[in-house]
Structure 1
Amino acid sequence: MLTVNRSDIGRIRMANEDRSWAGVTAGGLTLAIVADGMGGHQAGDVASQLAVDAFREAMEPLPAEASADEASRMLQEAIRRANEVVYDMASRNEQYHNMGTTVVAALFVEETRLILGHIGDSRAYRISEQGIAQLTEDHTLVNELVRSGQISFEEAAHHPRRNVLTRALGTDEEVELDVQALDWRPGDILLLCSDGLSGMLGDTELLQVAGDAGLSLEAKADRLISQALAAGGDDNITVVLMQSGAAADGEE
């Protein structure tokens, strides 16, 4: 399994509050996480870093022979553990009051089964021969308005409150997360990203780059960052790409 991890502060922000990690656990499973922190000066980056560290630590004991059900339970427990850590820090320190973070996490079991967990508006996409498919649903006010028919999808893209989250990790003692298990095909690419990428580039642009067979996975990640910056770079930009199978042969 090949993994590539890139992040950029963007053109507007004074600090990078995104954190991410992709690699192999001690148990031998491929894992990745993207967290986009919030909470003001030095709070957002603290929240996202705490979440990534707590999640990774909780996932380390999962053995390579774990079933998809076991992996799903462990991933849920790891995200809830991350929520406890961030919430506790925010509760005990005035400067971190109300800090939180989005999370999107991916775990591959035997490289043919993908477990996804997420809270907030950091996204996961599948890029395949069939095109691009968004695998996660944003936990945002604007998405709720779209689902209820109050605004159109096109209106949502420019809505003044499009960044208001309805769920985040670390802001409450208990957290609700979405978890799903998906079959994974060799050669398909998984894209995890913060909204600094998805807010700047549409599906067509993401597919044009990530689906380009002439580019290495590293080149794809670099080009996605560059295009998000060229489109405005209004936020921190984080990209994780993961691929297994014949299309990744020779690159691992």
Structure 2
Amino acid sequence: MLTANRSDIGRVRQVNEDQAWVGQLGNGITLAIVADGMGGHQAGDVASQKAVDAFRSMLEQSAAKSDLSVQEGKMLIRQAITQANEAVFELASHNELYHNMGTTIVAALVKRDNAIIGHVGDSRAYKITEGAITQLTNDHTLVNELVKSGQLSVEEAAHHPRRNVLTRAVGTDSHVEIDVQAVEWSPHDVLLLCSDGLSNMVSEQEMLQTVRTEQLELEAKADHLIQLALHAGGDDNITVVILQEAAGTNREG
């Protein structure tokens, strides 16, 4: 699996409150997570780091078995995000500086023929295949709820002043509802995880064109996406993780 992991503070923020991690296990499973933290003075970067650490430590141990089923993978993603929620909530509960801090999470567990996606908040997962891009996740935001209920159009939502208000986040409550799904995965597919610093600034068409550009290596594609978000204003931290099967290699197994 080829992977790229890029993050940028953007043009406005004083601190990068995004965190991302990609890991590959010996059994052929690739793990990835993007977390976009929020809170008072530097609490957001503490929340996202704490969440990523908790997620990583659990899955590096638990997902390493050789014949992980889809159901087991879904359960593990759910457990890892639950563990991240508990870790952030506990820290916030015992430290006044971190009161009410939280973070989004979008995470993936990718194996040979499927990818399991878990998410809370408005960081997104996209699947790019055969010249098409599909948003896999459903933003947990106030504005998205208004779109779903027909009170706002998609166009209105894109520019709504409260579009960043979350209805769910990791670490703000003792329990969190987590969306988990499995999607088919083939060697031609590309998975893109990002914080809203990318998805609010860069269109799906621009994402698709960048990922489909054959002249660029995967890391250069991630860099280009960040540059597009910066050129569009860069008013938030920007984080991009891209996963793609090693193109043109014959892989045994």
TM-score (norm. length: structure 2):
0.95
Residue 23 of structure 2 is aligned to residue 23 of structure 1:
yes
Residues 107 and 117, structure 2, Cα contact 8 Å, conserved in 1: yes
Once the two structures are superposed, residues 147-202 of structure 1 have per-residue CA deviations (whole angstroms, 9 ceiling, x without a partner) of 00001000000000000000000000000010001111112110000000000011
- Counterpart position of 1:108: 110
1:4 match: 4
Amino acid across the alignment from 1:8: D
Q: Check the 8 A contact 1:125/1:191 in 2, yes or no.
A: yes
Which amino acid in structure 2 is aligned with residue 72 of structure 1? K
Cα offset for 1:16? 0.1
Q: Does 1:41 align with 2:41?
A: yes
Which of 83, 101, 108 in structure 2 is aligned with 1:81?
83
Distance 1:80 1:237, change over 3 A: same
Q: Measure, in 2, the Cα distance between the counterparts of 1:54 and 1:88.
A: 12
Match of 2:32 in 1: 32
Partner of 1:122: 123
Identity percentage over the alignment?
Answer: 64
Q: Report the aligned-residue RMSD.
A: 1.3
1:139 counterpart SS class = coil
Q: CA deviation at 1:28?
A: 4.8
1:25 Cα shift? Answer: 3.4
Cα deviation digits, residues 3-31 of structure 1 (max 9, x gap): 11000000000000000001213655210
Distance in 2, matches of 1:58 and 1:105, equals 13
Q: Give CA-to-partner distance per residue, 1:219-243, whole Å, 9 cap, x none.
A: 1001001111011000000000000
Aligned position for 2:95: 93
Determine helix, strand or coil for the equivalent of 2:84.
helix
- 4+ long deviations beyond 6 Å: none
Partner of 1:199: 200
Tell me, in whole angstroms, the C-alpha distance in 1 between the residues paired with 2:201 and 2:43: 24
Correspondent of 1:72 among 70, 74, 81 = 74
The alpha carbon displacement at 1:130 in A equals: 3.9
Using a 3 Å threshold, how does the CA distance of structure 1 residues 248 and 4 change in structure 2: closer, same or farther?
Answer: farther
Aligned equivalent of 2:159: 158
Deviations 1:40-65 (A, max 9, x none): 21100000000000000110122132
Match of 2:224 in 1: 223
Unaligned runs of 5+ in 2: none
2 CA distance for matches of 1:162 and 1:169?
A: 18
* Amino acid across the alignment from 1:138: D
Q: In structure 1, the residue corresponding to 2:34 is in which secondary structure?
A: strand
- Quickly say closer, same or farther: Cα 1:68–1:48, change in 2 above 3 A: same
In the alignment, which residue of structure 1 is the partner of 2:133? 132
Q: How many residues are aligned here?
A: 248
Question: Contact 2:37 / 2:101 at 8 angstroms: preserved in 1?
Answer: yes
Letter in 1 for 2:114: R
- Counterpart position of 2:244: 243
SS of alignment partner, residue 209 of structure 2: helix
Normalising by the residue count of structure 1, what TM-score does the alignment of the two structures yield?
Answer: 0.95
